[in-house]
Amino acid sequence: MILLRSILFTLLMSASVLPWSIVVVIGRFVGGYPAAYDLVVTWVHGCFWLLDRLCHLNFRVEGTENIPARNSVALLKHSSAYETLVQFLLFPRQCWVVKHELMWAPFLGWAVWAIRPIAIDRGARQKAIAQVLAMGKARLEEGHWVMIFPEGTRVPAGETRRYGLSGVLLAQEAGRLLVPVAHDAGDYWPRRGWVKRPGTVTFRIGPPVDPAGREPRQVNEEIQAWVEAQIADLRGSMPRL
């Protein structure tokens, strides 16, 4: 039954991408970026309503008091598609750092373009960092949060890889804080496969880190250690089927 419900949700969500992407693009041309962004958030709410009804999967947030009043740079663990949606609901108006190939995807790529992401060429490391710094500082100046998956790609639940430096470097150059986010979404909505496990995903927002005047790799290691420790704690206490 869990598999059938998961498949139904995936099919319905996928079917919604085409018409809603068109709506988002139209909203961008008619009402500008704010209208497009609000339409995407509306679609995200709809996805979570459907996910809760069909798969009995929802989420909770811990540490909202750690979110700074001033827009900053958030570093999120990336182990699932779930957090790519939840981040819209965790932080104020934001932009993502995404691989530029995503912009080429029909319909979905158009909707992503409409909300002004930072599209980078991951194959050219130095160029990608320069893009994040230049466009990220501009977005921060405009009042947006910048959302970064420091591992660069989704990794299976329980695993990690070295964090990239672009988030720390951006925060340093822009004079902003870094906000780490840990979660156990990968155990409920795996990186691969159809099954969405019922339960409650926990998102844990950590105390902000000021990287000013510090060695970037040391800051990365500190944040990664905190994130992975929180995930180990969450995974150790989660119910098993």
Q: What's the CA gap between 52 and 158, in Å, rounded?
A: 24
pLDDT of residue 72: 98
Structure confidence at residue 128 (pLDDT): 85
- 84 domain-assigned: yes
**Cα 123 vs. chain centroid, distance in angstroms?**
21
User: Does residue 202 form part of some domain?
Assistant: yes
Count of structural domains within the chain:
1
**CATH number, domain containing residue 155:** 3.40.1130.10
Output the pLDDT for position 127.
83
Asked if the structure places residue 151 within a domain, the reply is: yes
Q: Which domain holds residue 63?
A: 58-237
CB 14, CB 108: distance < 8 Å: no
Instruction: Note whether residue 209 is domain-resident.
Output: yes
Q: Is residue 168 part of a domain?
A: yes
How far apart are the C-alpha atoms of 69 and 46, rounded to whole Å?
Answer: 28
Residue by residue, pLDDT tens for the chain (241 residues) are 899 999 999 999 999 999 999 999 999 999 999 999 999 999 999 999 999 999 999 999 999 999 999 999 999 999 999 999 999 999 999 999 988 888 888 888 999 999 999 988 876 778 888 999 999 999 999 999 999 999 988 999 888 999 999 999 999 999 999 999 999 999 999 988 889 999 999 999 999 999 999 999 999 999 999 999 999 999 987 665 4
In a domain, 45, yes or no: no
pTM of the model as a whole: 0.93
| 9 assigned to some structural domain | no
Question: Would 16 be classed as within a structural domain?
Answer: no
Task: Please provide residue 97's backbone torsions phi and psi, each rounded to the nearest 5 degrees.
Answer: -100, 120
> What local confidence, expressed as pLDDT, does residue 218 receive?
97
DSSP, collapsed to helix, strand or coil, labels residue 147 as strand
pLDDT for residue 240? 54
Helix%, strand%, coil% for the chain, nearest 5 = 55, 15, 30
DSSP string over 221-232: HHHHHHHHHHHH
